[in-house]
Amino acid sequence: MNFIVVGCGRVGSELAYRLFQKGHQVAVIDQVAAALNNLPTDFRGRAVEGEALASDVLRRAGIKQADGLAAVTNSDSLNAVVAHVAHTVYHVPHVVVRNYHPRWRTLHEAFGHQVVSSTSWGAQRIEELLYPTFARCVFSAGNGEIEIYELVVPEAWHGRALQDLLPAGRCLAVALTRAGKAILPTSEERLEAADILHLSTTLEGIETVRHRLQAPQGR
């Protein structure tokens, strides 16, 4: 496949090299020539110096044949505009933007882009790791707004209904595994000690679950 990476900082150079290692054709654009030196010496893709919004620069990078474009500069406005042009003018089928500053995330959402906000996601993940471990995050959707957690039902909750554990509207049971067999549980399902629950929830939702597990009688 043919990919274009706009921005050759730490993220851009790493992404471009990973794509190159997978056997894809990769072009990297950066308006600062020295930034292209971030690429590993064995990178064999195209390195294009120039302004990413210039049509001749995009053409040299192969925009008309691109299967995907990632805009990962440290300018949210530039990322948004480049992604918009790639999608609406050149009809690149897969466009992803990096959100550099969380304050500007709504800008990308307004354009309807696929957004990766490493700052927001990273801060949330660090926050999760700071809390005492009782549930393990096994999947993260979007930028961490919704995650799937795995937890083991403690002895104190044996016989209690699943609905007593889950905060309404903020937490869904994805699966319950008992003795190696997984089911889609109903809210009335009676829990047994050592059941494995997979819950789809927010960070606030899993915190509510944690508090309920610590106070099984609802106090």
pLDDT digits (tens, 9 = 90+) for 118-146: 888 888 778 776 766 678 888 888 878 89
For the domain bounded by 127-214, which CATH number is listed?
Answer: 3.30.70.1450
Q: Which of 202, 214, 10 is nearest to 124 (CA)?
A: 202
Alpha-carbon distance 164 to 187, whole Å?
Answer: 8
Q: Are 57 and 47 within 8 A, CB to CB?
A: no
pLDDT at 83: 95
pLDDT at 132: 64
Alpha-carbon distance 183 to 145, whole Å?
Answer: 25
Q: List phi, psi (to 5°) of 165.
A: -90, -35
- Whether this prediction's pTM lies above 0.85 is answered by no
Alpha-carbon distance 147 to 207, whole Å?
Answer: 12
The rounded percent of the chain whose pLDDT value lies above 90 is 69
Examine the pLDDT at 79 and tell me if it is beyond 60.
yes
CATH topology of domain 2-116: Rossmann fold (3.40.50)
CATH 3.30.70.1450, the chain: domain bounds: 127-214
CATH 3.40.50.720, the chain: domain bounds: 2-116
Q: Are 144 and 120 within 8 A, CB to CB?
A: yes
pLDDT at 219: 43
